[in-house]
Amino acid sequence: MTNPLVSIITIVLNGEKGLQRAIQSVADQTYQNIEYIIVDGGSTDNTLNLINENSIHISKWVSEKDKGIADAFNKGLKLCKGDIVGFLNADDWYEPDAVASAVACMKECDIAYGDVQFWEHGKQKHRTTGDHKKLKNGMAIAHPAVFVKMEIYKRFGGFNINYKIAMDYEIMSRFYYGNVSFKNINKIITNMTLGGLSDKYWLKAFIEDRRVITIYRGVWWAYFTFIRKVLFFYLKRLLR
């Protein structure tokens, strides 16, 4: 397939602050065969106006209450027609060649992922490089920099709504332990804003990670990694 359709899905709830930048980053992609889908959870701010104002860049959108992030992700999957799927948070934005780089990489794999540049208060902070081989210990790749072939979702299913924060880790673990092929694009794909759910509710995220690791690696490894993460978190806070 030389020119696959790529579906980009953004879920949002009262995200007027960053949504315009996210939409524009999709519109500015060098790769052209894209459908852009927005799943709104019933916003009461200016989000719906922004969606309407950018309708030329949006293929489909829906606004209705959902049962959480995983449920919203699944709604997006049901709406998309693409051969490849990427999820972009409403506060984040792609590099202009993000989709083109993913499509080129996915000639050799089922899942492509790239690096992430983090931002805080308009300033560059740290850059992270993913490594799917470290998924045994936690979410070692950034979900907004991941692209997955639709056939993989059809084979393994969508997001588990029983996870409120670590639903991305749970599904990537499902793929990883299901022997799906991953490949690192080795370049910055996505810019992310610090302060998401996993940053605010880090302990709940660690607990959900532990549940995932218990399934695939066993209870002892799960508690070992959980304790190590908590200690490392407090060490970083102390050093700051």
> Hey, is 39 helix, strand or coil?
strand
pLDDT of amino acid 196: 54
Class of the 6-196 domain? alpha beta
* Domain range list for the chain: 6-196
- Dihedral-angle region of residue 179 (phi above 0 means left; psi in -120 to 50 means alpha; beta otherwise): left
The whole-model pTM stands at 0.92
Q: Mean pLDDT in each 10-residue stretch from start to end of the chain (240 residues)? A: 92 95 98 97 96 97 96 98 97 97 96 95 86 94 97 97 96 98 96 70 90 95 90 78
Output the CA angle 25-91-16, nearest 5 degrees.
Answer: 95
Distance between CA atoms of residues 64 and 22, nearest Å: 20
Residues 6+ positions from 167 with CB-CB distance below 8 Å:
69, 70, 73, 159, 160, 161
Q: What is the reported pLDDT for 232?
A: 82
Residue 183 pairs in a beta bridge with 112
Task: Tell me, rounded to whole angstroms, the distance of Cα 223 from its chain centroid.
Answer: 25
Would you state the pLDDT for residue 240? 63
DSSP 17-31: HHHHHHHHHHHT-S-
